[in-house]
Structure 1
Amino acid sequence: MQGVQDLLPTMIATSVWGFVTGVAMLKSGLTEAMASWMTVLVYAGSAQLTSLPLIESHSPLWLVFVAACIVNIRFVIFSAAMYPFFRHLSWKKRLGLGYLTGDISFVLFMARFGESAQRGIPQHVWYLMGAVVPGWVIWQVASIAGIFFGTFIPDDWSLEFAAVLALLAVLLPLVATRPLFACLVVAGVVAWAGQLLPLRLGLLAAVICGVIAGVVVEQLQRKRTTP
């Protein structure tokens, strides 16, 4: 219930982002059935939006996969950070949690347990389940709604911009420490500067630079506080 409670303020942003992704899939030329299967099987808004222009332009399949993997490379970092809390589980259970875990649930989990000395207790599993399962349901409902009602949305409506604003409204209040602030600023600047790079490599560079900036600032803080 604590995981559900922490997730509740983010559901509006998740719903908007899912709806926009559903509309984008439909308008890119996918059929309603194909778009519905994509949102269930892929369950990664940024990867889906990255792959859609490539699918629409009939790019090679390997290129679609490479572009999606580059955008989602951040989840390798996320999973490495969460591994100590769930390494006692079987690989099947970890695979299921990995499929369900998204950006917001990762941030919520690490904000609550990241500094905890305990590892692998049942509370960690139940909290994450409380955060990821409702998030998955909300995403699927919103995305499928966008798929089936996307034809009624005028093309001149800037839904993508509204989705970005909704996500910012959720994420910015979570930036409560200097390392997180440094990570946000550096990642944002690098992502903006790398927009012209192919295959969304600017996002990969932003993830790497943001993580490095956060780690460096955290280490500097520890040195200052260590007598």
Structure 2
Amino acid sequence: MESAFRHGAREGVRDFLPLSVGLVPWAVVTGIAMRSIGLSEIESLGMNLLVYAGTAQLGTLPLIAAGAPLWLIMLTALALNLRFIIFSASIAPLFAGRSGAERLASSYLLVDGVYAICAEKALKSGDAQWRWGYFIAPSIFNWVMWQLFVAFGVFGAEFVPHDWSLEFMVTIALMVMVLPMVRTRPMLVAALAGGLGAVLLRGLPLRLGVVAGIVIGIGAGFVAERWQQRRGAA
């Protein structure tokens, strides 16, 4: 009989596969963007391995190109990745009994797409081995795809005409990744408030409008969730 781990791994990759299509243009554009600000191939690949967070990479590249202070670059990356604290806290039960090394590897591999597709189903399972396979297999699959197509963008950047506007590809890819996550009212409120705030405050210096939009989105989502809980208890 097939082990629970292998069965979970197969199901995880199968469930995640349709969403992974949106990863390809996002990864390619990220690779091109790193090269376009002057990073070498080795620097780009190194940043991709170290950071492994497309939103943070794309969000900090303009600051790096503009020579922004290191503290601002780090603050922006931190703000853009704050959501992973919430993600990791919500799926912590999946890793009960796992070793420290496995938990550390899982924290590095955690991405929006895998969380959006796999978290709810994994938390409903009582089989620890199935849960582990269901989470770790699509996470590794995502990592391999991301590294491969970012490298494709890095080494193919010099062949892309400079007058091509590829930003829309990132926008479409992000929409594909985000839409499955906006399934509750608090998440919808957070997304709308954060997006609107970032647009309205885009004129702030040093691109702080993005950071402000994130803070607004988190605050709005928190208020909406508390309001929903109180309404449900009433």
With normalisation by structure 2, the TM-score equals 0.83
* Partner of residue 76, structure 2: 67
C-alpha distance in 2 between matches for 1:59 and 1:191: 19
Instruction: Give the drift of 1:182.
Output: 3.4
Instruction: Give the drift of 1:206.
Output: 4.2
Q: 1:196 to 1:169 in 2, by over 3 A?
A: same
- Within 5 A, what are the aligned runs for 1:54-203? 54-114=63-123, 116=124, 121-173=128-180, 175-197=182-204, 198=206, 199=208, 200-203=210-213
C-alpha distance in 2 between matches for 1:59 and 1:180: 32
Per-residue deviation, residues 139-194 of structure 1 (Å, max 9, x unmatched): 11110000000111122322121221133235425544444433433333333334
* Partner of residue 32, structure 1: 41
Bigger shift: residues 162-171 or 77-86? 162-171
Instruction: Give the drift of 1:213.
Output: 5.0
Per-residue deviation, residues 64-104 of structure 1 (Å, max 9, x unmatched): 22221121121111111122222432332111101111111
- Within 5 A, what are the aligned runs for 1:47-58? 47-58=56-67
Per-residue deviation, residues 181-216 of structure 1 (Å, max 9, x unmatched): 334333333333343445431243144135315523
Per-residue deviation, residues 82-136 of structure 1 (Å, max 9, x unmatched): 222224323321111011111111111233245x3x6682222111112211111
Identity of aligned residues (%): 34
Instruction: Give the drift of 1:218.
Output: 4.6
Instruction: Give the drift of 1:220.
Output: 5.3
The RMSD of aligned alpha carbons is 2.5
SS at structure 1 position matched to 2:21: helix
* Partner of residue 215, structure 1: 225
Structure 2 unpaired stretches of 5+: 1-9
Q: 1:8 to 1:155 in 2, by over 3 A?
A: same
* Partner of residue 17, structure 2: 8
Q: 1:173 to 1:100 in 2, by over 3 A?
A: closer
Question: Are the equivalent residues in 1 in contact too, given 2:25–2:173 (CA < 8 A)?
Answer: yes
Instruction: Give the drift of 1:7.
Output: 1.2
Q: 1:203 to 1:98 in 2, by over 3 A?
A: farther
Bigger shift: residues 39-48 or 27-36? 39-48
